Structure 1
C-alpha cells in the first residue's frame, strides 16, 4: 500500500511517500504562513500521486489540534502560540482527490508510534516520546496505542518544581514557566542570551536545564510507568550531554521510592531516538497505513 505522510512541525514541514514505513520520496520546506505552507503540502502530495497513486495520507501536526474524527473541526489547529495558525484546517489542503482517507494525530504521537514500531522503543508497550525544540511536546502510547481523550497529552505545559534560586520567568505566552517555557529552544535562547547550540556541552548551565527536564521525567515515570522514554528534537539531539546529566539527577528525585527504577533501569529507559529526525515523517506514514 502506497501512502503519504506529512509532518507539520513548528519550524519545518516534511512531506514523504512510500510503502511499508519506508520513505521513497521526500520534500522538505520551512513552516511559514498557513497559506504558503499548506499550498506546498498540497503540491507535494499531487507530485507524489502523479508518480504512483497515493492510497491514504497521515498528518502528524504540531498542536494543540482537534483529533476527534466526529468533531466538526477535526484536523483544526486550536489555540497555539504559533502566530497565524489558530483555527487553521490542515486536512482540507491534503485532500488532493475525492475519497482520499486522511488520519490526523500529533507530531509527537506519530513519532512515538514510529519509534515503537521501528526504532528505539521496539518491544515496549508503554512509551513516551518527548521532543524539545521550537516547543516541547510529548506523545504517549499505552499498550502501543496513542493516548487521546478530550484532546491529547500537552506535556509541554506541565508546571514542574523549580530549582532553588532560579528566577528565570519563562517564555510561554500562556503559562510563562511551564516546562516548555523553561527549556524549549526559544526559552534557552532567552535564558542564555544567545543561540543555545553555540553553548559548550560542558557549560554548567546545562545542568540547570537537565534539572528542569529531570523534574518532568520524574513526574512522567510516576504517572505513566513507561518502559521507554525517547528524547528527540533539536535541543536533546544536539546536546546529548543533557541526557547524561538527567540520568544522574533522576535517582535523587525518585528518592528510592520506585525500586524498579534504579540507576541502571533509568539508563535503559531514557534514550535518544533511533530514527532521529525521520521519526515524525515515518510516523505520519504509519498513521496512514492504519
Structure 2
C-alpha cells in the first residue's frame, strides 16, 4: 500500500512515495518552472507506482481553491507566479491517475505533518507558520485541517509598525502586513543583505521578533492552538525563538494564560520534511474518507 505526495512550492516541487504511517519511501525534487514542464516530471515520478497508488495528497503554494463545489476546485488561483495562475493542478493529476486526491495548502500540509509526527505529536491542534521568502500559515484544529470558504492566509494579517521602522513594506497588496514587514524578502530589502548575513545583528532580530510576536498574539487569541511551530529559512536563526517568546509575553501582558512558552513556540521537529510528510498523511486520510 503506497501513497503519493506532492509539496508544490514556488521554487521547487517535492514528489514522494510514502506508506500508511507517513514514512517517506522515495522522493525527488524538481524546479518550479512552467506547469507543462514541472508537472511532466512530477507525473513521470509516479508512473512506476501507478498500479500501487492508493491516493495522492497535494500541498500547494497559493492562493488555491479548496471549495469542492466550486468549478475551479483544485486550481492554483491568483498566484503572483503568472505561469501557474488559474492552473488546475488536481485536474492534471486526476487525468494521469484515477485515485482519490487530497488538496490543501503547503503550510496546512506542514501543520498536519507536525501534529501527526512532529513537534505537536499527540496534540489535537497546532499552527505551522513558515517565515521564508514569504510568510504563510496553516492550522490543524480538533485534528482537522482548518478550511472554510477558503484556507488561512496568515502571512497577510496587519501588524503595528515599529515606531523606528521606516521601511515601506515589501508586499504589493498591503504596506503593513506581516509578510511585507517580516518575510525574508522584507529583511533583505530593508537591510540590504540576506538574513543569513545578518546573524549577529541584534537590531535586525529584535525588529523581526517585534512583528512575529504580534502575529503569534493574534493567532493565539483567535485560534488558541496547543502549539505554534515556526519554520522556514528565517527561523533557522534560532536566536529568534527566545526573543519572540519574550516579546509575546510583554504584549500579551497577562491577558491570557498561555502554555509554557518554551513548549508553545517551537521549531519544526520534521524540519524541512514537514510539508511532504503532511502530504503523505493527507493522502492516507483522503483514502479513508473515500472508503466511508
Does the 8 Å CA contact 2:14/2:30 hold for their aligned counterparts?
Answer: yes
Question: Of residues 271, 275, 284 in structure 2, which corresponds to 1:280?
Answer: 275
Are residues 1:27 and 2:22 paired?
Answer: no
State the partner residue of 1:261.
258
How do 1:137-152 residues align onto structure 2 when only pairs under 5 Å count? 137-152=136-151
Query: What 5-or-longer segments of structure 2 have no aligned partner?
Result: 286-292
TM-score, L = length of structure 2: 0.93
Distance 1:71 1:46 in 2: 29
Structure 1 residue 81 displacement after superposition: 2.3
State the partner residue of 1:111.
110
Structure 1 residue 270 displacement after superposition: 0.2
CA RMSD between the two structures: 1.5
How do 1:126-275 residues align onto structure 2 when only pairs under 5 Å count? 126-236=125-235, 238-258=236-256, 260-261=257-258, 265-275=260-270
Three-state SS of the structure 1 residue aligned to 2:83 is: coil
Does the 8 Å CA contact 2:115/2:125 hold for their aligned counterparts?
Answer: no
Does the 8 Å CA contact 2:30/2:42 hold for their aligned counterparts?
Answer: no
Three-state SS of the structure 1 residue aligned to 2:18 is: strand
Quick one: structure 1 residues 85 and 173, their matched pair in 2 at CA, closer, same or farther if it must change by over 3 Å?
farther
State the partner residue of 2:68.
69
Query: What 5-or-longer segments of structure 1 have no aligned partner?
Result: none
1:56-88, CA deviations, whole angstroms, 9 ceiling, x for partnerless residues? 110000111011222211111121223322211
State the partner residue of 2:289.
none
Does the 8 Å CA contact 2:43/2:96 hold for their aligned counterparts?
Answer: no
Are residues 1:78 and 2:73 paired?
Answer: no
Residue correspondences, number: 284
TM-score, L = length of structure 1: 0.93
State the partner residue of 2:5.
5
State the partner residue of 2:15.
15
Three-state SS of the structure 1 residue aligned to 2:248 is: helix
Distance 1:88 1:229 in 2: 31
